A and B are shown apart, each in its own frame.
Chain A
């Protein structure tokens, strides 16, 4: 160790190394986060001025206005945030169990498809009964869609990531098939608004607020999910299975059963999201209805470390960035991709800051100092 050959030491010791931090005080971690955001905004500003010649400050202002500029924009933001949150909430129990459910997209779509099926074929039922049937069947469909990969995982330990991803494609193809069955006019590949005149199967509107009901329902789901994960025995079991299958077995938890049960719940909430989109807002079915929320939801959940309360804010952040980006493209006649680039940079820095909060970078000490010791 005490070799006098300083150059040899220099070569052996890497320039920096990474260690896990034990703990960081809240004010320290917040300093890191704030710095990250400031840095992200500065870099976005530089990129904005270089590539578009626009004043970055007014671009940020436009983003803000795009999300909050009018009462209507706030409602639209609320609608988008709520549905994204719903999908993220659905994925959370599975992720807490370290079951990588990437099938949110398909589970939402299948719920949406079943809802649309009921609206088209059962429209003669009385309205309240029809809505109950739609709700039950779509939630069940979502549960089945997630339950299939869970069953295989529990029984034969198949790879859930691939399985759930593949189930997405099956759902998309099923929707594509039914779109052709229901398309109007023939050959157009377009279903249009279902029951536009009689509104059978449409969720009721509270006062003048078209999106309020969806928001309230999802708020309820958020609270329920929080309680379920934090205070119920099920929630505890999920955490234990997530830590280690062996530990879970040791304390007498039947792992297979927990996997299946949790995924049924996960899929059911995705099915609910599909139901809310078709019956509550869009009233149509397309292959793109889920719009990537099954994947965006993964990011929302991760950003919030799988805490439902935190997810309200992370889904809000993503919703805000999305609406802001779209406003930029409309106002400055820029391509949508430009807003997406800014969003990407901001997210990159936010996620990156978590690294510096959890890990420590130690640089190689000055060679001179080392020699003296």
Chain B
């Protein structure tokens, strides 16, 4: 009974505050009733759903992309909503519905586990566009208003690998390590194709420059676990890895490297501020071009691609500036050179001549492109001498275990 009145009072106090706030409240202008029949940037609303907040390098990268795209398109701050810390559960669906209520014409979500909830929302609100980054199901769901997007980040990883190879060569030349000690360490999240594709392309990039390179990979079993990532990196360093890279979203691995003085090729954006002595370069997906494209299409009532893959050309795959403090001399020049070859189609990241699986070069491989519970291998992806990544759907599906990469644990 006493508690009852207590809460009642609190609520009353807040009500009074709200009433007092009255006309002065600017947060209240987002009620959304006036947005019916949107068509121009003036009233068009956009929603973004993020798994974590800006403390995660992954989500920060999305948030920056979202803000940049809205700025370019002239969407004012009142007309876009960014909801952070939305778990991969019913909360995602709730958030999407709230955004529909607020009048959003297009809604984006950034985390893999949001996909099913976005599909659910897309089915319920056919007039609203739902775009999901990193998802795999758009091409099989057959919904007009549900779309997937990714980028050919394997190309960015490959180029970052080139920078790693340059660094390894420098260490070998300086006599710090012997050629056969050129072992890279990689902290991955899961044994998921997106991660496999990432570390393999990174490794191929490094080995294209430093032929004796090998790589150890460890997995944390989480996309964001600062402690596990730090421990993973430390374990790799203690195991003789002389250069680290990662595909997990916290600052765990970069800070472990800075502490140990081991060079790090980062991901999702520059970590140079926290790691001035060890940060070499970072690849990242710039989501702004996709956001601009999709929002523009939604505004104009045009169809959005079911699967959209950003490339070096669209500006979706980016590399940060090289940190001269840690990188080998001539890194930027070499990257530019290889980038030009990739862009021109003269070189391919997953060239079948560049890797072997169990000692054999591949001329055919069936990948699991259509997501199903049985993990059925359904699509031939090797043609013209290379593995066609991110062509049959936007999300990566390269899941081969190539020679030269040693998986320390595969429990995740």
Task: Report which A residues bind B (CB closer than 8 A).
Answer: 26, 29-30, 33-34, 37-38, 41, 55, 57-65, 69-70, 72-73, 76, 79, 176, 180, 184-190, 192-193, 196, 281-284, 286, 288-289, 291, 303-305, 307, 309-314, 316-317, 320, 326, 329-333, 335-336, 346, 350
Contact = CB atoms under 8 A, between A and B. Distances in A.
Interface in B186-232: 189-196, 221-223
Interface in B115-135: 115-117, 119-120
Contact of A70 (B13, B101, B120, B193): B101
Instruction: Give 10 nearest A-B pairs by CB, closest first.
Output: A187-B192, A61-B21, A193-B116, A310-B3, A187-B191, A62-B27, A60-B17, A58-B25, A313-B7, A192-B116
Interface secondary structure of A, over-half rule: helix
A332 B15 contact: no
Contacts, number: 176
Nearest to A339: B85
Given A180-B412, A185-B375, A286-B88, A41 B25 contact: no
Nearest to A73: B98
Contacts of A317: 6-7, 10
Interface of B: 1-11, 13-15, 17-18, 20-21, 24-28, 30-31, 53-55, 77, 81-85, 87-90, 94, 97-98, 101, 112-113, 115-117, 119-120, 136, 189-196, 221-223, 368, 371-373, 375, 399, 411-412
16 contacts: A26-B2, A59-B27, A61-B17, A65-B27, A176-B221, A184-B373, A185-B192, A189-B192, A190-B88, A196-B120, A284-B88, A305-B3, A309-B3, A332-B27, A335-B53, A335-B54
A326 B21 contact: no
B190 A286 contact: no
Contacts of B25: 57-58, 61-62
Contacts of A55: 21, 24
Contacts of B26: 58
A119 to B, nearest CB: 13
B7 A316 contact: yes
A60 B25 CA distance: 10
B13 A37 contact: yes
Contact of A187 (B1, B27, B53, B195): B195
B84 A62 contact: no
A57 B101 CA distance: 24
Contacts of B368: 185-186
A57 B24 contact: yes
Given A64-B14, A185-B136, A190-B112, A282 B2 contact: no
Nearest to B372: A184
Nearest to A180: B412
Contacts of B120: 193, 196
A38 B223 CA distance: 42
A62 B28 contact: yes
B119 A196 contact: yes
B27 A288 contact: no
Contacts of A37: 6, 9-10, 13
A313 B4 contact: yes
A38 to B, nearest CB: 7
A350 B89 CA distance: 31
A331 B21 contact: no
A336 B85 contact: yes
A328 B370 CA distance: 40
A189 B221 contact: yes
A61 B28 contact: yes
Given A284-B89, A313-B7, A58 B27 contact: yes
A62 B1 CA distance: 28
A188 B21 contact: no
A107 B88 CA distance: 21
